[in-house]
């Protein structure tokens, strides 16, 4: 079959598409069959990769077989593999069979879910998915909701709605040249950088994002939030929003939502909950029992593309403050006016996005394929692996466990036993020396673990604990043996790094 499109107009015939599709499926099958043999992180230097891919704009049709061959040869081997079973860095974001195939169908149908009329079944299915996801999170299923392309934008939209809800009419009059109060937003230093970016984009200013200190477990201290709000009120500022996190990026900390909610309620602050990572772990009863009721949130974001085995990009944003997202973002030009019909929703009304892909379909396929119980079972397994690793770390004399998380994120620090013993009674200068050495040691361990490409972990730096290692377990293909191998590797690299660094 031809499939070259060189001698004619139009697209592949349906038969050509199917034949090419078989070859693509073979590529995907091979990819997963041999994924574990590949390094997790691409090993090629950037310049070499750029040179490998540099080519002029093709004037003529390139045979698809050649494009496929080059995809296999040049693209796939030079990626960092998020689906890899030995991925333990950042947070996992994995795709699953049903999600992968749904993306193909989404592209085939190419439904634009901006208005009900432009995509009735896509909009109706989005309503269903929004109810399901709300049930999974434990958030009000009657809340306004929308599927969008990332938690960072969701937080921006939520804070924009919160700003509009102040009644300062910023939507109409803007912020420049007006006599407006200084707007203040609160979160901890462990909240995600997307909050900083949102206050930049909303004209609130980074210096008006107040970082509330955390407790020993890096959770926001509600008493200090209340103090900060009162101090700001006394200065004539306008506190208007607080972002609490269930599952912070650094350590998986869980901000105390109920207590924060009471402070927000007392002072009329909009509470946005960033549940991008942690939210869907509420499917697991042992987690849910430790998380305060999410319904204190005026708005909440969670990431199916992080924890629900659904390919990028799909995030869910809800607000139980009905109408506020639309008040911020709904704007219907004449050419998009449609006759309202009972029960319909125009999803373009809830964000800045107009053209929207049919994201609900992949969630529908994924959730139906695994079932709620299937998703819960996989999450429970990730939690089991994390708890096993934690127990190993606790029992080992050359490691300390840093922060406790209800999620499958384990934060550890290599701390050789002789230094632990010395540290306890060391004078301040010696303590500083030891702390500096531990930072170097742990950075070296990270380098060594990641260097071979067999495993991939990440790090963070905390104010009190310094440089620490993060092991996040959430891959669909990660099994207990992978986590066990990582633990062996960590021990070996700590011994090797300690030996290498202490000699000098
Ligand atoms: C991943 C993450 C984000 C950012 O999510 P994107 O979808 O990549 O924008 C924000 N907050 C938290 C807590 C996260 O874990």
Q: Kindly report the three-state secondary structure assignment for every residue of 357-418.
A: CCHHHHHHHHHHHHHHHHHHHHHHHHHHHHHHHHHHHHHCCCEEECCCCCCCEEEEEECCHH
Q: How far apart are CA 45 and CA 286, in angstroms?
A: 44
Specify the ligand 1 atom closest to the Cα of 275.
13
Q: What is the tens place of the pLDDT at every residue in 198-235?
A: 999 999 999 999 999 999 999 999 999 999 999 999 99
More confident residue, 176 or 2: 176
Q: What is the tens place of the pLDDT at every residue in 53-75?
A: 999 999 999 999 999 999 999 99
Q: What is the average pLDDT value for the chain, to the nearest integer?
A: 96
Q: Residue 1 pLDDT > 60, yes or no?
A: no
- Single pTM value for the model: 0.97
Taking the centre of ligand 1 as the mean of its atom positions, its distance from the CA of residue 22, in whole angstroms, is 35
Residue 392: CB within 6 Å of ligand 1? no
- The one-character DSSP state at 254 is B
Q: How far apart are CA 260 and CA 294, in angstroms?
A: 11
Taking the centre of ligand 1 as the mean of its atom positions, its distance from the CA of residue 147, in whole angstroms, is 15
Q: Residue 500 pLDDT > 80, yes or no?
A: yes
Quickly state the pLDDT bin for 105 (edges 50, 70, 90). Answer: very high
Average pLDDT over residues 406-419: 98
- What is the per-residue pLDDT for 338? 87
Residue 277: CB within 6 Å of ligand 1? yes
Taking the centre of ligand 1 as the mean of its atom positions, its distance from the CA of residue 302, in whole angstroms, is 8
Closest CA to 40 of 101, 111, 88, 102: 88
Average pLDDT over residues 22-39: 98
Alpha helices by DSSP H, 71-119: 97-109
Q: Residue 435 pLDDT > 60, yes or no?
A: yes
Q: Residue 395 pLDDT > 60, yes or no?
A: yes
Quickly state the pLDDT bin for 141 (edges 50, 70, 90). Answer: very high
- What is the per-residue pLDDT for 403? 86
Task: For ligand 1, pick from 277, 299, 308 the residue to mutate: most ligand atoms within 8 Å of CB.
Answer: 277
Task: Give bridge partners of residue 401 from the DSSP assignment.
Answer: 412
- For 267, counting Cβ atoms within 10 Å of its Cβ (0-12 exposed, 13-18 middle, 19+ buried), the class is middle
- For 258, counting Cβ atoms within 10 Å of its Cβ (0-12 exposed, 13-18 middle, 19+ buried), the class is exposed
Closest CA to 272 of 152, 354, 92: 152
- What is the per-residue pLDDT for 2? 55
Residue 151: CB within 6 Å of ligand 1? yes
Residue 150: CB within 6 Å of ligand 1? yes
Average pLDDT over residues 154-179: 97
The percentage of residues in the chain with a pLDDT greater than 90, rounded to a whole number, is 94
| Cis ω before 49 (30° cut-off from 0) | no
User: Cα 335 vs. chain centroid, distance in angstroms?
Assistant: 36
* CB distance 280 to 302 below 8 Å: yes
Average pLDDT over residues 302-312: 97
Taking the centre of ligand 1 as the mean of its atom positions, its distance from the CA of residue 193, in whole angstroms, is 9
- What is the per-residue pLDDT for 3? 58
Q: Residue 472 pLDDT > 70, yes or no?
A: yes
Q: What is the tens place of the pLDDT at every residue in 373-386?
A: 999 999 999 999 99
Q: Residue 91 pLDDT > 80, yes or no?
A: yes
- Quote the tokens at residue 177: 């040249």
In the Cβ-directed half-sphere of 442, how many Cα atoms lie within 13 Å?
28
Average pLDDT over residues 335-364: 93
Specify the ligand 1 atom closest to the Cα of 192.
11
- What is the per-residue pLDDT for 503? 73
* CB distance 190 to 218 below 8 Å: yes
Taking the centre of ligand 1 as the mean of its atom positions, its distance from the CA of residue 276, in whole angstroms, is 5
- What is the per-residue pLDDT for 504? 60
* Helix (H/G/I), strand (E/B), else coil: 128: helix
């Amino acid at each position: 079959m031809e499939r070259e499109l060189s001698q004619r107009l139009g697209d592949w015939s349906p038969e050509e598409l199917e034949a090419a599709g078989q070859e693509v499926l073979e590529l995907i099958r091979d990819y997963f069959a041999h994924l574990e043999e590949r390094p997790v992180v691409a090993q090629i230097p950037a310049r070499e990769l750029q040179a490998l891919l540099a080519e002029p704009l093709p004037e003529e049709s390139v045979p698809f077989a050649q494009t496929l061959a080059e995809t296999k040869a040049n693209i796939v081997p030079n990626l960092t593999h998020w689906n890899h079973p030995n991925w333990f860095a950042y947070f996992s974001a994995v795709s699953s069979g049903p999600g992968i195939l749904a993306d193909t169908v989404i592209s085939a149908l190419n439904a634009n879910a901006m208005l009900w009329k432009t995509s009735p079944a896509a909009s109706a299915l989005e309503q269903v998915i929004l109810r399901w996801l709300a049930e999974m999170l434990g958030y009000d299923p009657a809340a306004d909701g929308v599927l969008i392309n990332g938690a960072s934008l969701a937080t921006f939209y939520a804070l924009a709605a919160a700003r509009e809800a102040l009644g300062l009419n910023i939507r109409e009059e803007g912020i420049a040249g007006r006599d407006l109060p200084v707007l203040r937003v609160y979160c901890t230093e462990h909240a995600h950088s997307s909050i900083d970016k949102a206050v930049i984009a909303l004209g609130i200013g980074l210096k008006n994002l107040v970082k509330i200190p955390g407790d020993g477990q890096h959770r926001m201290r509600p008493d200090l939030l209340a103090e900060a709000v009162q101090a700001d009120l006394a200065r004539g500022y306008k506190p208007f929003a607080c972002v609490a996190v269930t599952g912070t990026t650094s350590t998986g900390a869980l901000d105390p939502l109920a207590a924060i909610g009471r402070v927000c309620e007392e002072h009329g602050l909009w509470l946005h909950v960033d549940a991008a990572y942690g939210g869907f772990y509420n499917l697991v009863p042992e987690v849910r029992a430790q998380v305060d009721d999410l319904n204190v949130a005026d708005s909440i974001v969670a990431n199916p593309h992080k924890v629900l085995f659904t390919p990028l990009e799909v995030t869910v944003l809800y607000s139980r403050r009905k109408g506020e997202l639309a008040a911020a973002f709904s704007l219907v030009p004449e050419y998009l006016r449609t006759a309202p019909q009972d029960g319909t929703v125009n999803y373009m009304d809830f964000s800045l996005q107009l053209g929207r892909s049919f994201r609900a379909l992949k969630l529908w396929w994924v959730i139906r394929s695994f079932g709620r119980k299937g998703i819960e079972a996989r999450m429970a397994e990730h939690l089991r692996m994390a708890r096993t690793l934690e127990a190993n770390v606790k029992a080992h004399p050359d490691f300390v466990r840093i922060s406790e998380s209800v999620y499958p994120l384990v934060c550890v620090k290599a701390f050789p036993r002789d230094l632990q013993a010395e540290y306890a009674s060391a004078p301040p200068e010696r303590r500083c020396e030891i702390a500096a050495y531990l930072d170097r040691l742990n950075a070296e361990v990270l380098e060594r673990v990641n260097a071979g490409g067999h495993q991939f972990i990440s790090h963070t730096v905390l104010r009190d604990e310094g440089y620490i290692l993060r092991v996040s377990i959430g891959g669909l293909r990660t099994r207990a043996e992978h986590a066990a191998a990582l633990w062996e590797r960590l021990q070996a690299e700590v011994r090797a790094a300690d030996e290498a660094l202490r000699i000098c």
